[in-house]
């Protein structure tokens, strides 16, 4: 006989579209729970994230009622996490404790005293032991890859273990990777055959499946496979009637058996994350290395020694993620004693917008927008004023300005650029524009041709021909008041596709600066070139005065997080331009003290998603062309309308 624990994790990111919640509910969450109700002998450990809980409570309270009844019947064990689904390793301990407490209180409202944690993205670091024990948690669910990274063999990974840090212990259950790829993508008989193959005399042996609930209806092809073709019903029927399989919940297992022994898990997540979190060039090499081992039939033997990056690498890989994360940490320290503000802070800790793997993640502007909205809202509960500080922990100071209605943050070390312009009234960061990057999967084709239904990891991905000419990769991050010195004759296409020459590479040069009330002066001088910009926050936006001299064209780029779809680049001769972006940042104006040539083009990134490729507008670049012939002056005004 083999013990078997079956668990699901239901999650929708904060800020996701309402229709996505609705579709996931109709295709996965509702039919799964209704099917479970039909099989009283079936037991499931369920984790539901806070953003989804709040949506269900408001829009589908009947789901919560059904869940509560299944808890009372003993069919469901609630497994908790940080309420708004943060990566616990990426937030302060004070916030971890409160986030777990919030979800335990919700579980209690269903009549369940939660003792276990679903570790978001299975991101483990040893010091979490103390936090979890302080939260009243007795066990945590992680991947078998964590254990293999600690040196354990696959055959040792069918038991829970204790792990210790600072004299405190917690039980860790390993999720079986093989089951993650079998369920629900392969025929039920294959799942049963695998479970039967695990039988042995040790009655404490247990196989654990715990994975995304969206696999049961939302992932491509799974609704037809799981429900219309009856996979889930057949699975429940087979598992509950198979005398060789003993279905259990985590708490039931721990009441009956003791963990196998003591292990020390390294910082880790699941195996795929170790690929995704590497910088792109190294990720490509990692994939090549893994494929080479597989071709030689050596991967399974040596995979215990194959490790890539860790989740926090995303803060190195994507500077936009790092800045957003460090601003969140800054606000966390500021509002620790303000309960009303902390709720917004906790929402800003939702993990999805901080990273990118198989799904869009940081590439999805609406997810980042939700994070920024809550960072800004939480920040408004305290008055910080203006200060100079290394906000993003890169060893270089930023200038933080607070006005009545805006936060403005300059990075003198990066071309004196405006890296954040956040509106307290609209709760948007106008500079939230992701740069275009080469990712290691660009140009990689993957396909699965076996039986059953393809997992997302196996879907074929080939770049459509119509996108090839439009895909470009940026040399710099995309900020506001970002200066470029470019040669005469540079074309709009050269500039927007990052094919232009850069004289002096101004976006990466350090500017000198001095701060004054509600503003900052920044300047750069080298040989025969000089540029100075004097910035002041206003009630409705800002004014910046440029003075520049030298040879070439000073291109002053303002990247704005505009989501109104723009298909074609434009060359405009204007004194002002008004933008009404109903999808994201709202209505604003750019005004100039004389007519200027303005280059306008969309910034679009290429990323993979569950359905193939996404070519996403991250924002729009508005670039003022200022030909230099002696000294030139220009005033730019940005204002909300």
Residue 167 burial class via C-beta count within 10 angstroms: exposed 0-12, middle 13-18, buried 19 and up: exposed
Strand-pair category, 541-560 with 76-78: unpaired
Residue 363 burial class via C-beta count within 10 angstroms: exposed 0-12, middle 13-18, buried 19 and up: buried
Phi-psi label, residue 217: left if phi above 0, alpha if psi -120 to 50, beta otherwise? left
Active site annotation includes 121: yes
3-state secondary structure of 364: coil
Question: Which segments of 14-115 are extended strands (E)?
Answer: 44-48, 76-78
Active-site residue identified among 26, 54, 212, 540: 212
Q: What is the C-alpha separation between 374 and 379, in angstroms, rounded?
A: 8
Active site annotation includes 193: no
Q: What is the C-alpha separation between 582 and 325, in angstroms, rounded?
A: 26
Structure tokens at 478: 């995309």
Torsion, CA 383, CA 385, CA 391, CA 397, rounded to 10: -170
SS3 content of the chain, % helix, strand, coil (to 5): 35, 30, 35
Q: 93-109 and 50-59 are packed helices; what angle lies between their axes, rounded to 10 degrees?
A: 30
Active-site residue identified among 77, 95, 121, 143: 121
Q: What is the C-alpha separation between 555 and 576, in angstroms, rounded?
A: 17
Structure tokens at 114: 């939660």
Q: Name which of 380, 421, 396 is nearest 536 in CA terms.
A: 421
Counting every residue written for the chain, the total comes to 641
HEC secondary structure over 266-325: CCECCHHHHHHCCCHHHHHHHHHHHHHHHHCCCHHHHHHHCCCCCHHHHHHHCHHHHHHH
Q: What is the C-alpha separation between 405 and 298, in angstroms, rounded?
A: 60
Phi-psi label, residue 639: left if phi above 0, alpha if psi -120 to 50, beta otherwise? beta
304-307: which pairs have CB atoms within 8 A and are 24 or more residues apart? 304/148, 304/149, 304/151, 304/152, 304/153, 307/149, 307/268, 307/274
Cα 285 to the center of its chain, rounded Å: 23
Task: Decide: 618 and 528 in contact? Cβ < 8 Å.
Answer: no
Active site members? 121, 212
């Amino acid at each position: 006989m083999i013990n078997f624990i079956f668990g699901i994790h239901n999650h929708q990111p904060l800020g996701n579209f309402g229709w996505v919640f609705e579709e996931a509910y109709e295709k996965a969450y509702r039919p799964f729970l209704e099917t479970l109700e039909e099989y009283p002998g079936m037991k499931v450990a369920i984790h539901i994230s806070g953003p989804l809980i709040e949506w269900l409570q408001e829009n589908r309270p009947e789901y919560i009622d059904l869940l509560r009844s299944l808890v009372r019947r003993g069919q469901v064990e609630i497994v908790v996490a940080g309420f708004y689904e943060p990566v616990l390793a990426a937030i302060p301990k004070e916030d971890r404790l409160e986030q777990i407490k919030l979800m335990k209180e919700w579980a209690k409202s269903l009549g369940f005293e939660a003792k276990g944690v679903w570790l978001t993205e299975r991101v483990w670091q040893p010091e979490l032991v103390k936090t979890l024990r302080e939260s009243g948690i007795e066990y945590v669910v992680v991947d078998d890859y964590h254990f293999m990274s600690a040196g354990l063999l696959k055959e040792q990974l069918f038991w829970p273990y204790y792990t210790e840090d600072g004299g405190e212990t917690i039980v860790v259950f390993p999720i079986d990777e093989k089951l993650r790829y079998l369920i629900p993508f392969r025929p039920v008989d294959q799942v049963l055959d695998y479970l039967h193959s695990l039988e042995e005399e040790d009655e404490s042996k247990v196989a654990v499946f715990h994975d995304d609930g969206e696999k049961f209806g939302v992932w491509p092809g799974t609704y037809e496979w799981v429900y219309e073709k009856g996979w889930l019903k057949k699975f429940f029927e087979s598992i509950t009637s198979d005398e060789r399989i003993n279905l259990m919940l985590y708490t039931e297992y721990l009441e009956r058996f003791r963990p196998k022994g003591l292990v020390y898990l390294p910082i880790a997540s699941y195996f795929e994350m170790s690929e995704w979190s590497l910088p792109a060039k190294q990720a490509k090499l990692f994939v090549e290395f893994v494929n080479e081992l597989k071709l030689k039939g050596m991967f399974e033997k040596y995979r215990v020694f194959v490790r890539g990056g860790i989740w926090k690498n995303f803060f190195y890989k994507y500077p936009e993620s790092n800045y957003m994360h460090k601003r969140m940490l800054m606000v966390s320290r500021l509002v620790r004693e303000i309960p009303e503000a902390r709720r917004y802070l906790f929402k800003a800790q939702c993990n999805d917008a901080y990273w990118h793997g198989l799904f869009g993640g940081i590439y999805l502007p609406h997810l980042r927008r939700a994070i920024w909205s809550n960072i800004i809202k939480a920040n408004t509960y305290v008055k910080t004023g203006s200060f100079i500080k290394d906000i993003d922990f890169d060893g270089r100071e930023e200038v933080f300005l607070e006005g009545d209605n805006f936060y403005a943050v300059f990075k003198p070390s990066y071309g004196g650029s405006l890296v954040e312009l956040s509106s307290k009234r609209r709760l948007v960061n106008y500079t939230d524009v992701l740069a275009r990057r080469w990712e290691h999967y660009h140009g990689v084709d993957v396909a699965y041709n076996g039986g059953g239904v393809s997992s997302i990891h196996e879907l074929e991905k080939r770049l459509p021909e119509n996108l090839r000419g439009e895909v470009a990769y940026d040399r710099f991050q995309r900020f506001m008041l970002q200066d470029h010195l470019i040669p005469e004759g540079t074309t709009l296409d050269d500039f927007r596709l990052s094919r232009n020459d850069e004289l002096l590479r101004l976006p990466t040069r350090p500017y000198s600066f001095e701060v004054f009330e509600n503003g900052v002066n920044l300047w750069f001088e080298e040989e025969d070139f000089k540029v100075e910009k004097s910035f002041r926050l206003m009630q409705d936006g800002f004014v910046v005065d440029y003075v520049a001299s030298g040879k070439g064209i000073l291109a002053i780029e303002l990247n704005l997080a505009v989501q109104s779809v723009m298909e074609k680049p434009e060359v405009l001769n204007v004194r002002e331009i008004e933008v009404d972006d109903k999808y994201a940042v709202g209505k604003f104006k750019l005004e100039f003290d004389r007519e200027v040539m303005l280059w306008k083009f969309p910034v679009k990134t290429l990323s993979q998603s569950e359905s193939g490729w996404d070519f996403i507008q991250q924002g729009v670049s508005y670039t003022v062309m200022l030909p230099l012939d002696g000294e030139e002056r220009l005033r730019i005004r940005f204002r909300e309308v």
